[in-house]
Amino acid sequence: MDGATQRSCMADELDIPDTTKLTDSWTKTSVGDYDRIQRQSSNTIDIVWQYSDKVTASLSAQTDSYRVTLPYSWHNEVSTSVDDSTITVTDKDRPNYSLCTFKVSSDTNAGDIGNSLIERYQIGDTPVQLWATRWAFVTVTAPSSISAEDAEDVTELQTGDTVDYESLISQIQSGDYSGLFTTDEFLKAHITVSSLS
């Protein structure tokens, strides 16, 4: 197609929560973990990529009172468990190390630098808290609690692989804890806690 144009993006970039709202001129094709929704008009092909229902379901967990939606980068990397009103997310290969925990609580205790309250959500009448252990800090301050390799892998998931782990460890060892908050920023930006309705 001479002079053809192809435009492509993820559905969430277009704020299209439900691709069924696209007009009939679009066709949908399943491609592994994605659905490709496209249309052609003259010399232009528009393509919208969306994670498949299977992927979306694997990144969601719920209790009787709230739902958690996890980052797409965690697909096939994490396991979730639900115990009454608590949701725990662990590294799939390292189930002893929680990436984060959600619990119904209005407690004002914020923990400490190693294990902290990251965010509070109000879901109707239900107060939900997001907690996380900062494993990079733990490996420096209590090295017998977690191996350096496990701490690195878990920290990469907790931060969306946005930090240089060795640099972070050096920072912590020198008393500079500022890099630890990359975990908080990633979790706040990429996790959604919502009502069931």
What digits encode the pLDDT tens for the residues 11-31? 555 545 455 555 567 788 877
Q: Where are the alpha helices (DSSP H) in 68-197?
A: 135-141, 148-158, 165-173, 181-190
pTM of the model: 0.78
Return the SS3 of 72: helix
How confident is the model at residue 30, as a pLDDT? 78
The whole-angstrom separation of Cα 129 and Cα 66 is: 11
Per-residue model confidence as pLDDT tens digits over 143-160: 999 999 999 999 999 999
Return the SS3 of 94: strand
The whole-angstrom separation of Cα 78 and Cα 62 is: 15
Phi-psi region of 111 (alpha: psi -120 to 50; beta: other; left: phi over 0): left
The answer to whether 170 and 140 are in contact (CB under 8 A) is no
How confident is the model at residue 7, as a pLDDT? 60
Find the length of the chain: 197
User: What percentage of the chain exceeds 90 in pLDDT?
Assistant: 68
* The token pair that represents 104 in the structure block: 């119904």
Per-residue model confidence as pLDDT tens digits over 70-126: 998 899 999 999 999 999 999 999 999 999 999 999 999 999 999 999 999 999 999
**How many H-runs (helices) and E-runs (strands) does the chain carry?**
5, 12
